[in-house]
Every structure is written in structure tokens, then in C-alpha cells.
Amino acid sequence: MTSRSSLFRAALRIPPSCIVFVVLLVTLWVLRPNMMNPAILGTFARQVVPLGIVVLGQLLVISSRSIDLSAGGIILLVNYLISSGLLYSWPLLPIVLLCLGVGLAVGLVNGLLVGKRRASAVIVTLAINIVLIGLVEYLANGKPPGDVPAEFHALYNLRFWTIPAPVMFWIALAGIMSAFLGVSVFGRFVWSIGSNPTSAHFSGVPVERTVVIAHVISGLMSAVAALVQTSSIAVGSVRFGPELVMNSIAATILGGVVFGRPAEVWGPFVGVLCFALLFVVMTTMGVQEPGKLIVQGLIILLAAIFYGLRSKSN
């Protein structure tokens, strides 16, 4: 009996994303075995790289008992800056640095208001998101911007062997984030706040500063995701971006990072891959967009039930 309960507790420690990923992979193998090709799967994975990069920031703020809903606005603003024609005469590197600076600035504003002023993270980041979207729509005057400089799309289409360059970049970024959280003092601070912010505060952990830094990194990740997303579509848009916010929260939760739990990178990483596979499997089965949303919601709901069982077991 003891060994069964130990086995049950060990199973509950596995992130739901890993289980969902295996199920989806087996389903795809049964339905379309010819698609089980590294080049094809790499192409599908490339489509979710912007989401995966946003998740790297989202898992930090969620682990710090906060949330970031401003990613969509950052992505939209960066896309406008690149495609509006305002920076066409600029070299590539200054454009990239400017866009990263936008993400850092928005993240800093979010962090100061949430961490220092103790304002509601939901209200602050949602308000910032709305302001940024409104600013882009005002500047664009209701018309989509022009084309993106060719260098961006060329970088997006690069491949190393059969692996797309954006996928390799995402894996490298996730590895850096995982190592950073594992060995740095900041990673231990985030872990402490996620476990118990009150105890962390009385233990000398700089809770406010940690929350501010988490939001700054999240803003930076959103700007990086915006560069990749803009490179992928190669044109300006005043519509894309906001849908990544809810998907990033869903992938983070599916990967085992929920409010009050320590930050882990690879669970949410697999959670993002689940979204890529889910899209492929649902498309293969002929499921329309409403059905995909229903299945996506059910998977997240099952993940929440899973966490409830794990908490009860603990």
C-alpha cells in the first residue's frame, strides 16, 4: 500500500504538459505517421517559438505571485515600429536594441507599479496592454503598416541541418533561463516568494525588487518574442499579439508553474510544444477553431484538477 501511494505521489509530480505531449505525439503517429519527421515537426515547432519566449517571462512573474498581461501590447508596438517605415534607414542592430528597450521599459513600469506600489498586477498590466494597443491603433490610423525589412524574414527562415534557427534560439534561451534560475541568487529568491512570500520577506528576501526584476525580464522576453513574430509574418499588423497572452498563461500552468509554486522552465517549454501538436492533431482530425478552443480549455481544466489532487496528496 505504501509503495502504491509513493508511486502515486511520484506520478503527480510529473508536469501535466509531459503527459499531454506524449498523448498528442502518439495520436499524431497513429493518424499521420508520415508527419513524424524532424523537418516537419521542426516547422510546426517554429510556429510556437514566439509563444514559447513569452512563456519564459510569464513563468517568472507567475512564480513571483504576479502576472503579466501586457505582452500583446508590447508585441504589437514592436511590430509597428519595425514595419511602419520609421526605422527603414536604420541598421538592423539599432532596430533590435530599440525594440528590446521598449520591452524593458514597459516591464520596468509594470514592475514598479506592482512591486513597489503594490498595485494589482492584473489591473496594471491589463491597463498597460490596452494603452499600448490604443497607441498603435492611433499611430496606424486604422491601417496596417507596411512590410518588414527583408533581413528579419531571412533570419527567420534560416535552418541548421533540419532544425529552424528560431527553434534553436528558443531552446538556447530556455537553457539559459533554466541555468540562471538554478544557480543564481535571483532564482532562489523567486523560489522563496513562490513558496511563501511572507516567510520570504521575514527571511530577508527582497520581495519588491525580485518582483520588479521578474516583470522587467518578462517585458524583455515579450520584446524578443515580438521580433520573432514580426520576422515570421514579414508584414505589419494591428491585430496579432494579444492572443499570445492567454496562451502563455495556459502553457505555463500546463507546464507545472502555478501561483505559489517555484519557477521551472522545461515543464512550460513542453507545454508550448503541446500547443503546436494540438493544432496539428486537431487540424488532421478536421476540428474547426471553436472545437480547438474547447479542447484547449478542457486540457487546462484537467491540469487544474491535477494540481488539486497533488495538493491533497501532499
State residue 201's pLDDT score. Answer: 84
> What CA–CA distance (Å, rounded) separates 255 from 274?
10
Amino acid at 214: A
The Cα–Cα gap between 27 and 290 comes to 20
pLDDT-derived band at 9 (thresholds 50, 70, 90) equals: low
For 65-105, what is each residue's pLDDT tens digit?
899 999 999 999 999 999 888 888 889 999 999 999 999 99
Phi, psi values for residue 143, rounded to 5°:
-110, 140
Lowest average pLDDT, out of 78-92, 184-198, 285-299, goes to 285-299
Mean of the per-residue pLDDT values of the chain: 87
**Under 8 Å between Cβ of 215 and 223:** no
Helix (H) or strand (E) holding 154, with range, is helix 150-156
Whether residue 300 is predicted with pLDDT greater than 80 in this model: the reply is no
pLDDT at 289: 81
4-8, 11-15, 190-194, range with the lowest pLDDT: 4-8
Taking the C-alpha atoms of 147, 150, 151 and 156 in order, what is their torsion angle to the nearest 10 degrees? Answer: 80
Over residues 115-125, mean pLDDT? 93
Domain regions of the chain by residue span: 45-313
In the chain, what percentage of residues exceed pLDDT 70?
89
pLDDT at 140: 85
pLDDT of res. 149: 85
Read off the pTM: 0.91
CATH class of the domain defined by 45-313: mainly alpha
101 alpha carbon, distance to own chain's centre: 19
Supply angle C-alpha 70, 238, 168, rounded to 5: 65
Residue 181 has pLDDT above 60, yes or no: yes
Question: Residue 48 half-sphere exposure, CB side, CA atoms within 13 Å?
Answer: 24
- From 176-185, 238-247, 249-258, the region with the lowest mean pLDDT: 238-247
- Any idea which of 105-114, 125-134, 177-186, 286-295 has the lowest mean pLDDT? 286-295
Reference 261, options 269, 253, 271; nearest CA is 253
Is the pLDDT score of 196 beyond 80?
Answer: yes
Query: CA geometry: angle at 96 spanning 95 and 97, to 5°?
Result: 90
Q: What percent of the chain stands above pLDDT 90?
A: 48
